Structure 1
Amino acid sequence: MESINKTTEGVNPSPLANLDEWEEDILKRYPDPAQINEDKKAEEFRNYQETEKDGVREFYRLNHLYQTYDFVVEHKADFLKFDRKEMPIWDAFDFLNQLVDDSDPDTDLDQMQHLLQTSEAIRNDGHPDWMVLVGLIHDMGKVLCLFGEPQWAVVGDTFPVGCAFSDKIVYSQFFKENPDFNDERYNTKYGVYTPNCGLDNVHMSWGHDEYVYHMMKNYIPEPGLYMLRYHSFYSQHREHAYNHLMNDHDQEMFKWVNLFNPYDLYSKNPNQKSWEELRPYYEDLVAKYLPATLKF
């Protein structure tokens, strides 16, 4: 960790005004089909030059610069010990709510309300209760920010490390400064992997997706684990850039990832029931699948 810390000295770890700014940028890239203006061509929504913000661009520059194979392996070894905190999930949500940016004029929703919007949309459509739970917890890994992780190591589009970076990843030009870009061990199509080795054998960039997946992998059915681990892997479930690493089982499981993704991006209901009304259902749901306390 010391080498990473020395490298990032003097770097602003939080170029985004708030973590939601990254998700707002995703909506510009992948707008809800139901909301697209028919007079505007689809490719116009991918014009980053007109829509990008300095903070978003800087965020991706840092993310693509520092997310190396060694960085990921080191952070997994550190954070997946889950030795920072132990608490009930409800305390974890209170902890997560500390990420709310009071200076943001565009939202007065805390993180818990954002998660409830996703889970309630899933429940209203009649999906299995474990998928409702995935909606509730899918961003819980953002607590990494409260453990001192910089934004670029918490949110952002995820991608494999240890092999060539795809040009389908947003702002892929910034990978040219990543040390792995010119490292012969990592800069070929397969890198340290083998054809169709399966994503379970692939290291993904470090962030809240990978963290919450490992936290939940003993409690939730496998389709839900795929949703947690790959819900930010846009270069695959939108661009199919890494089919060469996926096996048949991954392809089958990604049907679940694709089912979940619209709920993650487009579930924004300002008229949602109050937490007081929803609480009994979610307390029973959490008790069904999760232990009384979780390690973070």
Structure 2
Amino acid sequence: MNIEASKRTVAAAIHAESAEQKRAAVDHKPKAAPGKAEEEFRNYKDSSRQETVERHYRLMRQHQTVAFNDKMQSKYGSFSNAKMTVWEAFMALKGYVDSSDPDSSLPNLEHMLQTAEGIRAAGHPDWFQLVGLLHDMGKIQYLWGAKEDGQEGTADGDQWSLGGDTWVLGCRIPDTTVFPEFNVLNPDMQDPRYNTEFGIYAPHCGLKNLKFAWGHDEYLYQMLRFNQTTLPAEGLAMVRYHSCYPWHKEKEYQHLMDEDDEDLMDWVLEFNKFDLYTKADTRPDVEKLWPYYQSLIDNP
């Protein structure tokens, strides 16, 4: 996907800020208004969507390998499937419900607005709000997907390479992943090249040099870079790593991080409060809210 006029739209809304201004934004940590008690989120044991979620992760663990990542990089790396405005891409998710999410049965379009509105209410800068709006947009891969790739081509088909908690490919899958009992199903865990602590990586090589389970995060991250977005590095980290709960929640992969990753984790954690705790049954008014976000996209 090549989002139309990315340099002018998404990039134009990113106001240049000093490092001090950025740090002030992440150090100001207002609590996002939760739709329910915090401990009720990410229930992978007995949620109302348990069967769907568990099936998703079983398939994801079975199929997400280094070879599969290489296949998807080859399939999507030219970003030639479509040329779309942000609004067109956004509307493509109006019927898409994430099968990996135990917390929400709302379409992803509405979840992205809930996230952006939480960030906006907390007083974070425009670029941060735009990350909230865009962060799940990579799920539009389903428009060009195939069932064998976990992207069935319908908004309610198999989604195991579109959403869900990610992990680092090419090294041992940590037991802190959700549904760790499925780790043994992964072919790479039977391959001595990939089933050790470091696997194919050098110590402290940096997260930017790792392969992650393929999904909306990786696709959107690469698409934004392809379009030369001027989202700051902190925003791109939020996009790429927000689903990697083994890293930012469980503190795995410390042995692969470089110095930059320490700072980026703070930003990803700040973003994830809004991504998670703004999920609620109250549905946002898309038509009413969109003009504000369109103004961020259109105006420097």
TM-score of the pair, normalised by structure 1: 0.76
Tell me if 1:263 matches 2:263.
no
More helix by share: 1
Tell me if 1:245 matches 2:242.
no
Provide the residue aligned with 2:87 in structure 1: 90
Identity between Structure 1 and Structure 2 (%): 44
Matched residue pairs, number?
248
Tell me if 1:187 matches 2:195.
yes
Q: Please, what is the CA RMSD of the aligned residues?
A: 2.7
CA displacement at 1:115 relative to structure 2: 1.2
Seen in structure 2, the aligned counterparts of structure 1 residues 53 and 281 have a Cα distance that, compared at 3 Å, is: closer
Structural mapping, 1:124-203, within 5 Å: 124-148=121-145, 149=151, 150-203=158-211
Measured in 1, the distance between the counterparts of 2:106 and 2:50 equals 22
- Give the partner amino acid of 1:154: L
- Give the partner amino acid of 1:266: Y
Tell me if 1:216 matches 2:224.
yes
CA displacement at 1:79 relative to structure 2: 1.1
Measured in 2, the distance between the counterparts of 1:273 and 1:54 equals 27
Instruction: Indicate which of 76, 80, 87 corresponds to 1:79.
Output: 76
Seen in structure 2, the aligned counterparts of structure 1 residues 151 and 223 have a Cα distance that, compared at 3 Å, is: same
CA displacement at 1:54 relative to structure 2: 2.5
Seen in structure 2, the aligned counterparts of structure 1 residues 108 and 157 have a Cα distance that, compared at 3 Å, is: closer
Answer whether contact 2:59 2:160 (CA < 8 A) is retained. yes
Q: Deviations over 1:128-150 (max 9, x none)?
A: 11000000010111112222214
Provide the residue aligned with 1:17 in structure 2: none
Instruction: Indicate which of 204, 211, 219 corresponds to 2:212.
Output: 204
Answer whether contact 2:35 2:278 (CA < 8 A) is retained. no
Tell me if 1:63 matches 2:71.
no
Measured in 1, the distance between the counterparts of 2:232 and 2:297 equals 14
Q: Deviations over 1:181-201 (max 9, x none)?
A: 111111111011011110111
Mark the runs of 5 or more structure 1 residues left unpaired by the alignment.
1-31, 37-41, 290-296
Answer whether contact 2:36 2:280 (CA < 8 A) is retained. no
CA displacement at 1:68 relative to structure 2: 0.4
Q: Which has the higher contact order (CA 8 A, sep 6+)?
A: 2
2:193 counterpart SS class: coil
Answer whether contact 2:166 2:213 (CA < 8 A) is retained. yes
Tell me if 1:119 matches 2:130.
no
Seen in structure 2, the aligned counterparts of structure 1 residues 282 and 180 have a Cα distance that, compared at 3 Å, is: same
1:151 counterpart SS class: coil
Provide the residue aligned with 1:35 in structure 2: 37
Measured in 1, the distance between the counterparts of 2:89 and 2:160 equals 21
Seen in structure 2, the aligned counterparts of structure 1 residues 216 and 288 have a Cα distance that, compared at 3 Å, is: farther
Measured in 2, the distance between the counterparts of 1:46 and 1:98 equals 22
Measured in 1, the distance between the counterparts of 2:73 and 2:246 equals 22
Measured in 1, the distance between the counterparts of 2:86 and 2:43 equals 40
1:164 counterpart SS class: coil
Measured in 2, the distance between the counterparts of 1:209 and 1:135 equals 13
Measured in 2, the distance between the counterparts of 1:132 and 1:109 equals 20
Answer whether contact 2:110 2:284 (CA < 8 A) is retained. no
- Give the partner amino acid of 1:175: N
